[in-house]
A and B are shown apart, each in its own frame.
Chain A
Amino acid sequence: MLSDLVSNSPFLGEVMSGNIPADPAIIARVYRSLRLIRRTEEEIARIYPSDKIKSPVHLSIGQEAVAVGVCDVLGDDDVMSATYRGHAAYLAKGGDLRQMMAELFGKAGGGAKGKAGSMHLVDMKANVLGMSAVVGTTIPIAAGYAFALGREGQGETERRITACFFGDGATEEGVFSETLNFAALHKLPVLFVCENNGFAIHSPLSNRWATEALCERVATYGIPTHSLDRDDVFTIRETAQKAADEIRHGGGPQFIECKTYRWREHVGPGEDYDDSYRNRADLEPWQARDQIKLTGDMLDAGERQAIDDEIETAIADAIQFAEDSPWPDPEELFNHVFAD
């Protein structure tokens, strides 16, 4: 398999495989999104020891390509649901950067006025559904949102779709299987995306799965599945594009499993390769095909620099916004317990 060759050969690992879009604007857009997420999270990791961010952060560094490849084919009106490791998906879907940073700082300018923090990011203006820290809980909620949207279209009519991200651990929860069945039964317009990074906190798949045939399990519900054994952003994008088109026209749910790798520790800003559960050597093949470097290398140097500069400006602005934003008023504690 190509993936085996790539994993075993640093030389081949630096080559981007097929599916590269002909339109250079797409390459630039994908690069911009990947780079924005990476640099934002690197800044979060830099600030974190200062204790200005009083919220556990589960960084997506290394996993950006799944969120970016899928979200790039979603329209503004489409909906996205993600997990507590949600910075990448939030930004890839167009969530507001300033509000995200202020939310991490616990400030009134945050998207949820500091009540959410990193684990419950939300931006309904960008159709980013709220994230959850209880693994698997958002899966049926995304399907329910899709259920409501599905009523907008009939037959071949185009409808808005919901992309639902979750990790490998979530597929072990009963609610995952329950939701797949319901979504297939009612042909809900939802694209399920499993970001399989191989670990539930520190527990490897070998401790948790009787077989690794996740796509086979899902396929028994009558759901078309796509198994991607590496996180090549343009392969993800093309897979998502085709799936989304079919879902949009009434084809019912589809499922993508994409292998990926979490470069940092489960929670917190650092690395953990000196801990007992994994080795730095495991990281190296993934780093060798870092999607940010590979997509960036496809751009003209001047264009790339302009994008990089724009990103640095946006992140600095967001951090300043978070710093300047006031704390929420004490009475905010009691707001939103109930809706009016």
Chain B
Amino acid sequence: MSSPTERSLSYVEALQEAVAQEMERDESVFVIGLNVDDHKAIQGTTQGLIDTFGPQRVMDTPLSEDAITGICIGAAMAGMRPVHVHIRMDFLMLCMNQLVNMAAKAHYMYAGQVSVPMVSRSIIGKSWGQGAQHSQGLHSMFMHVPGLKVVAPTNAYDAKGCMTAAIRDNNPVIFVEHRLLYSTDAPVPVEPYTVEFGKARISGQGTDITLVGVSYMLVECLAARDLLAEVGISAEVIDPVSLMPLDVDTIAASAEKTGRLLVVDNAWTAAGASAEIVAAVCERQAGTPLIVSRMGYAPTTCPTTPALEKGFYPNAATIASRAHAMVRPNDPAWVPDVEPTLPHEAAFRGPF
């Protein structure tokens, strides 16, 4: 129900509003990245910022992701709060040296003499031919390195609250977005607010199995929960929201209650967020029997053709099927008879 101080916004509008409000509130905030000031405005997420704040604070860049990341770090050390935007997460690989060797370490290596308050925004693509290099979810690489925070909000409310919190945070924050979440709506307060990092959200309660959905896979997990309900299985769905810090307590408490944990990542499983979450919960559950499983991208490069791509990603049906097998191991395998593509995903058309 929308109140006078809350209306329905899309994920895109929520991101735009968070950045605009923080730029209004704090002169040290600026937005930088290729095409942040153009007519397409990064799918609308930087819409209007150039008109309101001008080219000094909304800056297009050369294709120099390595140097621009370093420039953001230096500006942040000098007291500014850069928001560095990448249209695809794959491009963060060009920033890896600066993010891992400098941004993550500066506060520690220089024993607090500087801090690096910056946000690296990046978007994971899916479907309509995103292929090998526009589809990667590489968040686990950043979770590995002390000094970086990693957040992956899955709805418009958390998008605004996490972005506001990320900009105000005094550390480098890797902000993981997913292209298919952009058109989703949620009630979003008008006033600025923050969503605390390190607090998971229980997105749907249940008693038989815990599903953890990372980034866009949270949406698929919620759809899987509906499918499971039809066969009498009650799934609890958890959105970690923030991956570093990670709210192990909430996930572990749920897993202890249900006795089963299935983590579905919008990424590969090997050495990934799903591995980390399962391991952290198992360590916490020492002595308690717990059935665990992981799902994620197929262990292949992402193919471009839809004929192969559909087998690359987990979806509501495959998640429900796996969950069913965990809850009722003695039953015949069950695959719900549904289209693998959710309605908003079917509506998505390229080019991005």
- Chain A positions near chain B (C-beta within 8 angstroms): 111-113, 115-116, 120, 122-124, 129-130, 132, 134, 137-149, 151, 174-175, 178-179, 181-182, 185, 335-340
**Chain B, Cβ-Cβ closest to A146:** B74
CB distance from B43 to the nearest CB of A (A): 25
CB distance from B115 to the nearest CB of A (A): 4
CB distance from A113 to the nearest CB of B (A): 5
Q: Which residues of A contact B61 (CB under 8 A)?
A: 182
Distance of A113 Cα from B64 Cα, bound (Å): 34
Q: Are A112 and B109 in touch, CB under 8 angstroms?
A: yes
Set B64, B72, B74, B108: member contacting A337, Cβ < 8 A:
B108
Q: Are A144 and B102 in touch, CB under 8 angstroms?
A: no
- Known contacts A178-B67, A182-B62: does B111 contact A145 (CB below 8 Å)? no
Distance of A85 Cα from B68 Cα, bound (Å): 24
Distance of A123 Cα from B61 Cα, bound (Å): 31
Distance of A148 Cα from B147 Cα, bound (Å): 23
Report if B185 contacts A (CB, 8 A): no
CB distance from B286 to the nearest CB of A (A): 24
User: What are 10 A-B contacts defined by CB distance under 8 Å?
Assistant: A112-B109, A115-B109, A116-B111, A137-B102, A147-B75, A175-B98, A178-B62, A179-B64, A336-B108, A336-B111
Distance of A112 Cα from B109 Cα, bound (Å): 7
Known: A140-B71, A144-B72, A175-B98. 11 other contacts (CB 8 A): A116-B109, A124-B110, A134-B102, A137-B98, A141-B70, A148-B80, A175-B66, A178-B66, A179-B64, A337-B107, A339-B115
User: How many residues on chain B are close to A (CB under 8 Å)?
Assistant: 40
Q: Are A140 and B108 in touch, CB under 8 angstroms?
A: no
- Known contacts A178-B62, A185-B62, A337-B147: does B110 contact A143 (CB below 8 Å)? no
Q: Are B107 and A140 in touch, CB under 8 angstroms?
A: no
- Known contacts A115-B111, A116-B110, A336-B108: does B62 contact A141 (CB below 8 Å)? no
- Known contacts A182-B61, A185-B62: does B67 contact A143 (CB below 8 Å)? yes
Could you give, for residues 148-192 of chain B, a 1 whenever the CB lies within 8 Å of some chain A CB and a 0 otherwise?
A: 010000000000000000000011000000000000000000000
Report if B288 contacts A (CB, 8 A): no
Set A113, A123, A137, A185: member contacting B70, Cβ < 8 A:
A137
Report if B77 contacts A (CB, 8 A): yes
Set A132, A144, A182: member contacting B77, Cβ < 8 A:
A144
Set B64, B71, B97, B113: member contacting A137, Cβ < 8 A:
B97
Q: Which residues of B contact A175 (CB under 8 A)?
A: 64, 66-67, 70, 97-98
Distance of A140 Cα from B68 Cα, bound (Å): 7
CB distance from B136 to the nearest CB of A (A): 21
Report if B281 contacts A (CB, 8 A): no
Report if B56 contacts A (CB, 8 A): yes
Set A113, A134, A148, A182: member contacting B67, Cβ < 8 A:
A182
**Chain A, Cβ-Cβ closest to B62:** A181
Report if B3 contacts A (CB, 8 A): no
CB distance from B53 to the nearest CB of A (A): 13
Q: Are A112 and B113 in touch, CB under 8 angstroms?
A: yes
- Known contacts A137-B101, A141-B70: does B79 contact A336 (CB below 8 Å)? no
Q: Are A120 and B110 in touch, CB under 8 angstroms?
A: yes
Chain B 71-94 interface residues, beta-carbon cutoff 8 Å to A: 71-80
Report if B232 contacts A (CB, 8 A): no
**Chain B, Cβ-Cβ closest to A145:** B74
Q: Are B111 and A178 in touch, CB under 8 angstroms?
A: no
- Known contacts A175-B66, A181-B62, A185-B62: does B97 contact A134 (CB below 8 Å)? yes
Q: Are A338 and B171 in touch, CB under 8 angstroms?
A: yes
Q: Which residues of B contact A111 (CB under 8 A)?
A: 111, 113
Distance of A151 Cα from B57 Cα, bound (Å): 11
Q: Are A147 and B74 in touch, CB under 8 angstroms?
A: yes
Could you give, for residues 12-33 of chain B, a 1 whenever the CB lies within 8 Å of some chain A CB and a 0 otherwise?
A: 0000000000000000000000
- Known contacts A140-B70, A143-B71, A175-B67: does B114 contact A130 (CB below 8 Å)? yes
Report if B120 contacts A (CB, 8 A): no
Q: Are B112 and A339 in touch, CB under 8 angstroms?
A: yes
Q: Which residues of A contact B111 (CB under 8 A)?
A: 111-113, 115-116, 122, 335-336
Distance of A134 Cα from B102 Cα, bound (Å): 9
Q: Which residues of A contact B112 (CB under 8 A)?
A: 335-336, 339
Q: Which residues of B contact A137 (CB under 8 A)?
A: 70, 97-98, 101-102
Q: Are B171 and A148 in touch, CB under 8 angstroms?
A: no
Report if B210 contacts A (CB, 8 A): no
Distance of A146 Cα from B77 Cα, bound (Å): 11
Report if B252 contacts A (CB, 8 A): no
